[in-house]
Structure 1
Amino acid sequence: MLSQPPPYAELPPTHRALYLKSQSEAPTIETLPTPQPTPGSAVVRILTANVLSYARDIYNGKRSYNYATPLVPGVSAIARIAAVGPDATTLSPGDLVLIDVTIRGRDDPSAVFLLGISEGHSVGSRKLMHGEWRNGTYAEYAKIPLENCIPLPSPLLATTEEGGLGYTIEDLAHIPKLLVPFGGLRDIDIKVGETVVVSPATGAFGGAAVQVAVAMGARVIAMGRDSTKLSALKDRFKRSQVETVTMSGDVETDTAALRAFGPSDAFFDISPPAAAGSTHIKSGILALRHGGRVSLMGGIRDDVSIPHSTVMHGNLRIQGKWMYEREDIFALLKLVQRGNLKLTEGAGMVTVGAFPLEEWEKAFDLAAQKAGMGEMVLIMP
């Protein structure tokens, strides 16, 4: 039988956490008062927390992210509920949950910020991060809004003999990375049998977009600059599921290469900031069919070239998407539960390193080196 979590006693008075006093100082391990549950919140015991490939650049200021300090860093996590506020109706101590980093104002859903990463872009989002929800998940305990504690169905961890999927806690930590592109793909309503261009497709989030799009029943044309990585990506899927195009940097050449597979229904971009000035977005748009859709999710901060006449005459729809909606989380969990989206090493999902809090520097370093498709580095307090 699936083992039951241990009962949770009274919260300890203190806990250990990674603590960032300012961007000019390196984080340190500190003993802090354990957060206490209040209305609308839960206190969770962190089992494993994800490490972004650019985590070091976030917390040393190189990426110019704005966030409150002092701060307990830390992003998405898998945790057990340790205690809940008095208004919790379904969550109970011991429940296994996914910690969703996308925190929204309850009286203004447009006030959005990312837990432990960024204060967002509005007065409301800054108020939330600088106040009630300041600290992230690189700690033994964290205080999280109730709605950001997403229950994980027990069949995910149950063994195959028990009728489950047999995943480990570490396997489940791959879900947050898949959620980001899923939000953009679902936002433009990708349908079974459609063709979607994904670019760039060989990085962590681009690779996740390929996996998710295939799980949604789409054919993918994966764009990237490294033909070796593209070939390896194609080998993971059936021939009919993924095609590849190596970016040349020439708009006409890349557009022709995309059109060789027929008109595409959608174009999904999740470029990093370094892709500013790249021509691939224009090529992706030019390869779309009449009425095609575009999802822009990347980190490019500069303006990009849009073929205005093509967009207008082609009735194309261009949408921006930051992260995902709460209902997207439950939709993706259904793909995982039904086996459409696998979290196993055989499906290319690999935890390349797991570190205790004290070895956070090693975790940050390894995450920067291992930023490919399906690769994950974890901190396990």
Structure 2
Amino acid sequence: MSVCRSVRCLFSAVSLPKPSSAPKRSFHASAPRTARRRRPHYPSIKAEDLKLLNQAAETQYPKYDTSETALLAKRYTPEQIAAIKAAESAIDARDVVTQGQNRTDPWLLPYEDDLAEVDPVTDHAPKLSPEDIPGKKTFREANEVERDEAIARIANENLAKMYPDGIPEGQLNPKQEQQLQEAMEAAFTQAALDPRATFYSENPAAAQALADTRHSIVQPDLPRIDNRMVRQTRRLSTEEAEDPRQKRLLQYLDWDKQKLRTIRVKTLVVHSVTNQTRMGKIQSLYFLTIAGNQDGLLGVGEGKSVEPEEGRKQSVMSAIRNMRPIPRYENRTIFGDLEKKVGATKVQLFARPPGFGLRVQHLIFELARAAGLQDLAARTPRSRNKMNVIKATWEALCNQKLPDEIARARGKKLVDARKVYYGGSVH
């Protein structure tokens, strides 16, 4: 029958057949369950509870008023303010109140930090050079009068940091007097050890640089992001005599020697093999090596040669070249339980909570440590051939099913697949 039907056939009054009442299969990964009543994700909320919930949300997460918007406009651009408002409107404050919670585990991050200030403990201050000091940079050793004046000034600055509201006056109890005495001793001790009290300069900026940690010679420099040409120039300038295999590997990976040294390499299997030829039996050594950066990369390589050093180097280069990313949940364990079979060997891997450790056999232990896994359990119920155990573990770690892939296959969002929202509440 032709697809192009006549107009008379299209507008005829012939009744169309009724659709069958039998349920049809939908385009979904899960099997249809028509008889089962679908349960809601969240319990029903009464009107009275909803009013109380709205009040709590408005109290804890109020909307921006005019003064706050004006302050934001001084710091952020209009595009950034629009992005902030869009993010605020996308997240319902009621959901944050009901499902959000502050983390209390040891691995929590300072989410409330706006990163506007430099943390003196965790952040590195930018290192400054002598060119950043304006004026002359001459110093001389201070005499007694200049030293006493500098110690008094620095001690007052230290006491002002300890007591921002001023030194307590009036009648003090014995505990407060002891605290004040200890603070004064600490302030004068720090002032006596300060280099500004030992040396004197007519340039105040140069004198202040003596106590500035950014001018310290032992402070490490901040990491720099260089382009490919700079890295290539640096690598060629520091290039030493090396074997051509390692040189080709560095060019293939676009690495330098310093980055190659950070790779953890270990040979796990070594045994001799025999090749029967027309000239007789030829003995050689087989090596199986693993390589990883202990931060999500893992590779397995094999090598065989008559010379032991040559065969081991082949396996090392092959392992580094075969490194593949390992998905890690919270950078410490795997996503769920895994099972892989290679030959007669079957390996079962299980995710474990924080602090569990690596309770696995020695081969899987080396693989997990090279990949950067800290919490893992494993079983090998069948054959425990070393080569097959290593290959099965590597393939299982590389071929994990991620939550976002599972959610995409089911046609859902990631939060619906994991049932985790905002602060980490699990339903």
TM-score range, shorter chain: under 0.3
TM-score (norm 1): 0.21
More helix by share: 2
Higher relative contact order (CA 8 A, sep 6+): 1
TM-score (norm 2): 0.20
